[in-house]
Amino acid sequence: MYINIRGPIGLRLDETDAMSQKLENVAKSMPDVTNVTANIGVSTSSSGLSSVGSGSTANEGRIYLDFKDFEKRSRPTLTTYNESKDTIKFLAGADISLNKAEHGPPVGMPVDIQIYGDDYLRLGEIARDIRSKIKNVPGLVDLKDNFESSKPEIRITVDRDKAALLGFSSFDVAGAVRTAINGSEISKYREAEDEYDITVRFAEKFRSAIPDLDKIYVFKEGKQIPLSSVASFETAAGFGTIHRTAMKRVVSVTGQNLGRLPNDILNDVKKILAKYEIPQGYSIKYRGADEEQQKAAAFLSKAFMIALFLITMVLVAQFDSLRIPLIIMSSVILSLQGVLIGLMIHNMPFGVIMTGIGVISLAGVVVNNAIVLLDYTQKLRDRGRTKIQAIIEAGKARLRPVLLTAICTIMGLIPMATGWAFDFHTFSFSVSGSSSQWWASMAIAVIYGLGVATVLTLVIVPSMYMLYTRD
């Protein structure tokens, strides 16, 4: 797990570190935690948005928590996660969130609503409206947006007319300020094959307060003038960061799930926002886990249809008939009933990726069993048997190979479905390994789908062959 820290805009790095140390002490007291590592001054954004206007992440940090090996933990880590989400939120004025480390490809936040438009202030107002409308959705926690409107800054306004009379441009003034505060590279230092930049700027004590700006001079072609003679200074507040996607300004409203499936929460959010009137010129898009799930579903659906098409083409060429391949392929579609039954029995959601892969792999096994049965039926008819005689004899002869194929596949997948594993380092068995939850839905889909498909192969497929083929 990891803890994200986000302090007020403009917070100094040492103050962020002080907050981090307090959270580290809390993290060390969590059950089964072995190591706590803090990284201060790094962006905690997970939206993948491009941004301008900030350039600094001194107010952000992330603390990583490592746990004992899975089999040595005293309690489920999910229990620790659920109990600790509110425990860490004891620091006033900071946004603190506890997150689970997601394995596999990045999928984004469970709820990620992106609002597009031109007026950034208006985007912030819409984001606040949306948060207020969906904050009571059951299971939706850590609801927040990334709109920043209060970054403290010092504005230097150049009197262009006065500067031009003295022979200076706004670029000259900006260069002098940049060199004094941030520094400018003036040369390089070489030592053997190594090269180092030489950067000059004011010492720390001469660039830490507004009065220090009076000590800056603008130089050009041997002339120099005080910065204060062509510019005025004032403190103000501006945007902390302006996020963009595809060159459009965007503000994101994100949230985590707790105790409910992300899809259920997102569906509730969509129902609420379907009634929300978006101002003209602004739009809403659902991204994060929902977008990635839709992409995965589209890809796997396309892969499934292509697989069925290619199998059908091979069968048409093999049997020199269209009816028999369609009978075989119908058993693939009907076997999906077994997949759904298995998921309901084990109270598992239909995982788009792993369950989808299980459905695609199931199609290959189901087709093999149907081919074994109907191919032998066709051979018996070629030898002079009647249709009913060929079906009965083929059923008797192919019962054993069909059952053996199904039983061997199901037995081979039971360890994956239950999480049984053998550790070759310690020569011991383990149950419910750390990756078993990831693979279980795929194994359950194949096991129950193949179980139902075996019955279909031995009963429904011969019946359809009897009804839909010529005598």
d(CA 465, CA 470): 9
Q: Which residues contact 289 (CB under 8 A, 6 or more apart)?
A: 107, 108, 109, 110, 111, 112, 262, 266
pLDDT tens-digit map of 431-461: 666 666 778 888 899 999 999 888 888 888 8
Percent of the chain scoring above 90 in pLDDT:
12
| Domains 151-238 and 293-468 alike in fold | no
Distance of alpha carbon 324 from alpha carbon 376, whole angstroms = 13
In this structure, are residues 191 and 116 in contact, taking their beta carbons and an 8 Å threshold? no
pLDDT tens-digit map of 157-213: 888 888 888 888 888 888 888 888 888 888 889 888 888 889 988 888 888 777 888
Predicted confidence band of residue 48 (pLDDT cuts 50, 70, 90): very low
**Using one digit for the tens of pLDDT, what is the confidence trace for 251-260?**
989 888 877 8
- pLDDT tens sequence across 239-253: 667 788 878 889 989
Please state which of the four CATH numbers 3.30.565.10, 3.40.640.10, 3.40.50.150, 3.30.70.1430 is assigned to the domain occupying 1-108: 3.30.70.1430
Alpha helices in 186-288 (DSSP H): 262-273
Range 293-468 has CATH code 1.20.1640.10: yes
pTM to 2 decimal places:
0.61
Question: Averaged over 345-369, what is the pLDDT?
Answer: 84
Look at residue 36 in the predicted model and tell me its pLDDT: 92
Extract the tokens encoding 315. Answer: 């069968």
Q: What is the pLDDT of residue 52?
A: 44
Lowest mean pLDDT among 96-110, 133-147, 354-368: 96-110
Chain segment 226-239, per-residue pLDDT in tens: 888 888 888 776 66
Interval 64-93 mean pLDDT: 84
The predicted structure's pLDDT at residue 129: 92
Q: Helix, strand or coil for residue 438? A: helix
Residue 465 — pLDDT band, cuts 50, 70, 90? confident
Q: Give first-to-last CA distance, the chain, whole Å.
A: 66
The pLDDT score that the predictor gives to residue 50 is: 41
How much is the pLDDT for 49?
Answer: 47
Rounded CA-CA distance 166/325 in Å is 89
| Sign of the alpha-carbon dihedral angle for 25, 30, 35, 37 | negative
For residue 168, the SS3 value is: coil
Query: What confidence score (pLDDT) does residue 352 get?
Result: 78
Q: What is the pLDDT of residue 35?
A: 92
Closest-CA residue to 325 (of 362, 375, 359, 365): 375
Q: How far is CA 66 from the centre of its chain?
A: 21
Domain limits, the chain: 1-108, 151-238, 293-468
> Region 283-299: what's the mean pLDDT?
83
Question: Chain-wide mean pLDDT for the chain?
Answer: 84
What pLDDT score does 434 carry?
A: 61
Q: Tens digit of pLDDT for each residue in 397-444?
A: 989 988 998 899 899 888 888 877 766 777 777 666 666 677 888 889
Q: Which residue has the tokens 């985590």?
A: 256
Fold for the domain defined by 151-238: 3.30.2090
